[in-house]
């Protein structure tokens, strides 16, 4: 009798584990070609796309059918620039002194889920307290719902630079942070800081090559690393399997970063044509983040929302962002897709598509950036970024053709990540 029960249990388990998911798609948006592919069925087994069949195919009685016959189906979106741990608001600067790691961790789970439900199944997190590493691990372990995260852990800065964690503090709280905390002031510091990120479990290196808007430091655009320091970072990073992303608003620091061998420039607000040419030559990708520029400029008009020093920079830099992106696109600068979500609410990442369209970048191009190109930048182009046999089953759906209504991307109605349906 015991043997019979065991056989029955094994039989039932086999049936359950062998279940396929049949996603009947009225229209698949091919992000590689920008074309619409009609009447297909995506067959998903476990976490991968098993096959793509012509017409609306049904499996066995044990298989699951998902009806998306009147929807537009796309691969999961990838955002190359988020800060998943938090969201800026009028209390953000005070919270640096009142929030514990546990507070940050719990809040980050809310932002992670919101991001996933917006159709962004993969993100690159470019700097926080280090909680972002634990969040990535929790998501990978199935403890928390969220996107696949590639994280920098803590960003790298110079003393007083944009990511110096003690900027704006009184003398007795300022201390003298070094490579462990992400502050670099020499070539040896640069090497040690990268190795520390490796030890901490980061996936990518983020540097602040110039001043920034939201830190309480005087300049939003001055260069903040030497060429030798950046070369030490990129060379060490390469040895440890890292790519390097460089925050940069000012042109001089941006140019130094490109010459130093970084892989991506984040923001690029005041980029000159000379630097654009250099980026094309070096195949250094620009991650636009127009959304952040728009949002900080708007919030800077609200009295008391930002400290005065931040509001001034926001009004100087934010409004210039879109025009530079338009010029860079026309020039042929290679581009990925990123938003800087966290500067504005997580889950609103798709507003970037509308701003890119305003800058003259067609939706089919920005969708390719947010899928295929970003997958390549992350080194996962053989398994993410397309709806293709053998690829991981990250699949989303919207109501309308994004080429005709870009805002439809702001209302994702179906989300599957690694074969698991999170939203339908």
pLDDT tens by residue, 307-345:
888 888 888 888 889 999 999 999 999 999 999 999 999
pLDDT band at 11 (very low <50, low <70, confident <90, very high): very low
pLDDT of residue 171: 84
Q: Are strands 205-208 and 244-248 parallel, antiparallel or unpaired?
A: parallel
268: left (phi over 0), alpha (psi -120 to 50) or beta: left
From the list 334, 230, 248, 252, the residue with the least C-alpha distance to 285 is 334
pLDDT band at 3 (very low <50, low <70, confident <90, very high): low
Under 8 Å between Cβ of 260 and 233? yes
Structure-block tokens of residue 290: 């127009």
Higher-pLDDT residue of 97 and 277 is 277
pLDDT of residue 13: 44
Higher-pLDDT residue of 334 and 216 is 334
Is the four-CA dihedral 355, 370, 398, 289 of positive or negative sign? Answer: negative
Q: Are strands 20-29 and 64-75 parallel, antiparallel or unpaired?
A: parallel
pLDDT of 420 higher than 60:
yes
For 357-373, b where at least 16 C-beta lie within 10 A, e where not — what string?
Answer: bebebebbbbbbbbbbb
pLDDT of residue 300: 85
Residue ranges of the chain that CATH labels 3.20.20.140: 77-348
pLDDT of 254 higher than 60:
yes
What's the CA gap between 18 and 142, in Å, rounded?
Answer: 21
- According to DSSP, residue 220 is labeled S
pLDDT of 422 higher than 80:
yes
Structure-block tokens of residue 351: 């507003």
Could you tell me which CATH number the domain at 77-348 has?
Answer: 3.20.20.140
pLDDT of 143 higher than 80:
yes
Give residue-wise pLDDT tens across range 39-83.
999 999 999 999 999 999 988 888 999 999 999 999 999 999 999
pLDDT of residue 12: 46
Give residue-wise pLDDT tens across range 273-311.
999 999 999 999 999 999 999 998 988 898 988 888 888
Give the max Cα distance, the chain.
80
pLDDT of 28 higher than 50:
yes
For residues 372-377, give the mean pLDDT.
98
Under 8 Å between Cβ of 111 and 76? no
Q: Average pLDDT of the chain?
A: 93
Query: Is residue 418 classed as helix, strand or coil in its secondary structure?
Result: coil
Under 8 Å between Cβ of 48 and 390? yes
Number of neighbours of residue 42 by Cβ within 10 angstroms:
25
pLDDT of residue 5: 54
Residue ranges of the chain that CATH labels 2.30.40.10: 21-75+386-423
Query: Is residue 203 classed as helix, strand or coil in its secondary structure?
Result: coil
Structure-block tokens of residue 230: 């950046």
From the list 256, 155, 258, the residue with the least C-alpha distance to 215 is 155
Q: Which residue in this structure is represented by tokens 């789970």?
A: 109
In degrees, rounded to 5, the angle at the alpha carbon of residue 71 between the alpha carbons of residues 75 and 358 is 65
pLDDT of 15 higher than 80:
no
Give residue-wise pLDDT tens across range 152-196.
999 999 998 888 888 877 888 888 888 999 999 999 999 999 999
Give residue-wise pLDDT tens across range 380-413.
999 999 999 999 999 999 999 999 999 999 999 9
Q: Give DSSP secondary structure letters for 340-404.
A: -BTSS-TT-TTHHHHHHHHTT--HHHHHHIIIIIHHHHHT-TTTSSS--TTSB--EEEESS-TTT
What's the CA gap between 215 and 208, in Å, rounded?
Answer: 11
What's the CA gap between 269 and 119, in Å, rounded?
Answer: 27
Element (H, E) at 423: strand 420-423
Under 8 Å between Cβ of 221 and 249? yes
At the second CATH level, the architecture of 21-75+386-423 is Roll (2.30)
């Amino acid at each position: 009798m015991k043997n019979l029960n065991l056989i029955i249990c094994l039989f039932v388990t086999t049936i359950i584990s062998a279940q396929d998911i049949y996603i009947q798609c009225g229209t698949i948006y091919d992000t590689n070609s920008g074309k619409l592919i009609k009447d297909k069925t995506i067959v998903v087994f476990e976490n991968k796309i098993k096959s793509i069949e012509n017409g609306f195919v049904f499996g066995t009685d044990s298989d699951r059918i998902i009806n998306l016959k009147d929807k537009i189906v796309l691969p999961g979106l990838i955002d190359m620039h988020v800060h998943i741990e938090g969201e800026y608001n009028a209390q953000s600067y005070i919270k640096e002194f009142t929030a514990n790691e546990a507070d940050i961790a719990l809040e980050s789970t809310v932002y992670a889920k919101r991001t996933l439900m917006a159709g962004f199944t993969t993100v690159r997190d470019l700097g926080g307290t280090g909680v972002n590493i634990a969040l990535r691990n929790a998501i990978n372990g199935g403890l928390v719902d969220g996107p696949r995260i590639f994280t920098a852990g803590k960003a790298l800065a110079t003393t007083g630079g944009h990511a110096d964690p003690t900027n704006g503090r009184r003398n007795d709280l300022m201390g003298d942070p070094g490579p462990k905390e992400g502050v670099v002031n020499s070539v040896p510091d640069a090497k040690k800081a990268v190795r520390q990120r490796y030890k901490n479990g980061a996936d990518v290196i983020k540097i602040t090559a110039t001043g920034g808007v939201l830190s309480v430091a005087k300049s939003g655009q001055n260069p903040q690393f030497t060429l030798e320091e950046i070369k030490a970072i990129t060379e060490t990073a390469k040895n440890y399997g890292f790519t390097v992303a460089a925050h940069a608003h000012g042109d001089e620091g941006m140019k130094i970063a490109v010459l130093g061998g970084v892989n991506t420039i984040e923001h690029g607000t005041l980029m000159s044509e000379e630097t654009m040419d250099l980026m094309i030559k070096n195949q250094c990708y620009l991650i636009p983040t127009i959304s952040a520029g728009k949002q900080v400029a708007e919030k800077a008009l609200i009295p008391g929302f930002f400290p005065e020093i931040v509001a001034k920079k926001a009004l100087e830099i934010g409004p210039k962002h879109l025009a530079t992106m338009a010029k860079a696109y026309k020039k042929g600068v290679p581009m990925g897709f990123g938003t800087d979500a966290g500067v504005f609410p997580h889950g609103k990442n798709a507003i970037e598509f509308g701003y890119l369209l305003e800058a003259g970048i067609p939706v089919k191009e920005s969708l390719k950036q947010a899928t295929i190109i970003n997958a390549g930048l992350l080194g996962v182009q053989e398994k993410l970024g397309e709806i293709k046999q053998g690829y991981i089953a990250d699949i989303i759906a919207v109501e309308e053709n994004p080429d005709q209504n870009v805002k439809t991307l702001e209302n994702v109605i179906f989300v599957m990540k690694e074969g698991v349906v999170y939203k339908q």
